[in-house]
Amino acid sequence: MFALIRLAWPCFATLLLAACQPSRPDVSAARDPAARAEALLADYQGNAPGAALLVVRDGQALVRRGFGLAELETGRAVTPATSFRLASVSKQFTATAVLLLAQDGALSIEDPARRWLPELPASTEAITLRHLLSHTSGLLDYEDLMDPADARQVQDADVLALLARESGGYFAPGTGYRYSNSGYALLALIVERASGQRYADFLRERIFTPLHMKSVAFEEGRSRVSERAFGYSRVDGRWQRTDQSTTSAVLGDGGIYASIDDLARWDAALYDERLLHEPWRSLAVTPATATDEPDVAFYGFGWRIQDDMQWHSGETIGFRNVILRWPAQRLTVVLLTNRNDPEPYALARRIAALWQ
């Protein structure tokens, strides 16, 4: 009996030693890029405004997950179906709407803007739709023309009215680059006049419905956003709802709501001809003008271009978003957040690097 105990002791001692030692990390999990990507979103988890992350490679979702809360007041969680206000990520949809109408023959991107918007002053005679699409119009920023004492929300038509009263610009059309929300608000109006439809209806009928997207160009009182995330800002150490501002009703430059599931469908359509045929599809991501912005060598139509990456960010009160695409690698990363800070571009680049 003693011999049996003595023989068993080494095995027992080994088990005891292993139990007392700190557990080793799961090496397979540490090497899994999806797990590492999700770990990078730790700050968005818990009882706080959250995020939705999509990583797509070769048409397959490698990561498709929500983090944190879409609505703090009810504790409603972010899911892959949660719709975020895209802010300037919306511009690629406005540009596509214009290109769809060009493809239809309803307009030309070389048309003078005043052909469709004669309310614009004579000083804008040389501005074309191409200039509006590529931020080379020189138009004044409508935010600088708004009355700071007026708390009413500005709409696209109001942007036109503000610009109609001005006779100058930042530079002659085509001679410089300056990112312009004004230009994309005007493009939404041009879509309406060239198509005979409301901008929101055109996007729904020509883009969202064909791609089975639940996205909407949000109009207060006319639109319903499915599973909507609300925006928040950190104020004095606490999260406060900051979902709307005086510019939140302008649609052409940033008024679309979409989920990562919607944007997965959108991303897939950018590889084929369900919406735009060649050469129209390529035109959106062809360098139209050089820029002096960080990580933006060129701007196309609704897309920033840096080396082999096509991307765009979106920032508005309570929301920070980014979409990054490497078509040659068939890799896309989308990160949508419903908080005012931080800007998620650097984080999205770190996530993308896990598959590059």
Q: What does the pLDDT look like over 281-323, one tens digit per residue? A: 999 999 999 999 999 999 999 999 999 999 999 999 999 999 9
- Residue 16: pLDDT band with limits 50, 70, 90: very low
For 35, 37, 53, 229, 336, the CA distances from 65, given in Å and listed in that order, are: 11, 11, 6, 15, 11
pLDDT in the model for residue 54:
98
d(CA 120, CA 172): 15
pLDDT in the model for residue 30:
59
- The CA-to-CA distance between both ends of the chain, in Å, stands at 61
pLDDT in the model for residue 280:
97
List the catalytic residues: 88
- Per residue in 240-261, pLDDT (tens digit) is 999 999 999 999 999 999 999 9
pLDDT in the model for residue 14:
38
The domain spans of the chain are 29-353
Judged by DSSP in three states, 130 sits in helix
The answer to whether domain 29-353 has CATH 3.40.710.10 is: yes
Among left, alpha and beta (phi > 0; psi -120 to 50; other), residue 330 is left
More confident residue, 197 or 20: 197
For 88, 92, 345, the CA distances from 231, given in Å and listed in that order, are: 15, 22, 18
**Angle at CA 107, nearest 5°, toward 105 and 110?**
120
What's phi and psi for 88, nearest 5 deg? -70, -10
* Residue 215 token pair: 């996205």
The average pLDDT across 173-193 equals 98
pLDDT in the model for residue 220:
75
| Beta strand 232-235 pairing with 289-290 | unpaired
pLDDT in the model for residue 226:
86
d(CA 33, CA 29): 8
pLDDT in the model for residue 3:
41
Residues 257/163, Cβ–Cβ less than 8 Å:
no
- Residue 207: pLDDT band with limits 50, 70, 90: very high
Question: What mean pLDDT value characterizes the chain?
Answer: 92
The average pLDDT across 175-201 equals 98
The average pLDDT across 83-96 equals 98
